[in-house]
Structure 1
Amino acid sequence: MPVNPDLVGRAFAPTAPYLVGREKVREFARAVLATDPQHTDPEAARALGYADVVAPPTFAMVIQDLTLQQLLAEPDSGIALERTIHAEQRFRYTRPIVAGDELTAQLAITGVRAVGKGAMVTSEAEIRDAAGEHVVTATSILLIGGEE
């Protein structure tokens, strides 16, 4: 089944709240070699004006992944994980993610473009804090290979 062009404009339900943990931020920072002390040391983060450790910018992928799982589970999407490559990623921040944040995300599909036998699917996940304030928009482009 080819990628469904009717995905464009589809919005998904907000994810369950994700509580950003200090150890998760530290683990992620180590994994991506983010060595600035504000990522691992609460005192260093507080000295910069933050309540706790600050997540590296790409940490938003952890929350965005919850939304992409919704897309991959859509029975009419035409997207098969085994034919999918994460082609591009962008983040537009209002403020950094900090340990203690409780974040929800809502995915919207903003584009489906045919590429050969496959397609490129663009999605935007709006990530908000517990007060409903915007934290970051994570934009992904998935390249979906066509069937033989």
Structure 2
Amino acid sequence: MSVNPELVGRSFPPTAPYLVGREKVREFARAVFADAAQHVDPEAARALGYADVVAPPTFAMVIQDLTLQQLLAEEDSGIALERTVHAEQRFRYTRPIVAGDELVAQLQITNVRPFGTGAMVTSEAEITDAGGAHVVTATSVLLIGGEDA
């Protein structure tokens, strides 16, 4: 089954709220070698005007992954994980993610472009806080190999 071109424009239900924990931010910062004090030390973050530790910019991928799981679970998508490569990632922030944030994400498929025997699938996850305010838009491009690849 090839990637379903009718995915374009499809929106998925909002994810369950994700509570950003201080230790999760610290763990992520260590994993990506983000060693600035505001990522691990609440006092350093407060000195910069934040309520708690600030997540590194790529932390939004943790929340976006919840939406990509929805896409991968779609029976009619034509996307097989074993043929999928995460080809590109972009983030457009309104404000940083901070420990204590409760975030919800909603995915929309914005493009399916044939590529060889497969396709490139572009999606945008709008991530908002508990008050509904925009925090970040995470854009991913997945490269899906064809079945005969």
| TM-score (ref. length: structure 2) | 0.99
Deviations 1:8-47 (A, max 9, x none): 0000000000000000000000000000000000000000
Deviations 1:80-132 (A, max 9, x none): 00000000000000000000000000000000000010000000000000000
Match of 1:85 in 2: 85
The aligned amino acid for 1:17 is: P
Q: Give the distance between the partners of 1:116 and 1:83, measured in 2 at CA.
A: 13
Q: Give the distance between the partners of 2:116 and 2:87, measured in 1 at CA.
A: 15
Match of 2:133 in 1: 133
SS at match of 1:135: strand
- Aligned pair 1:63/2:63, yes or no? yes
Unaligned runs of 5+ in 1: none
How well do the aligned residues superpose, as a CA RMSD in angstroms? 0.2
The aligned amino acid for 2:36 is: D
Q: How many equivalent residue pairs?
A: 148
| TM-score (ref. length: structure 1) | 1.00
SS at match of 1:100: coil
Match of 1:12 in 2: 12
Unaligned runs of 5+ in 2: none
Runs of 4+ in 1 over 2 A off after TM superposition: none
Q: Give the distance between the partners of 2:80 and 2:128, measured in 1 at CA.
A: 29
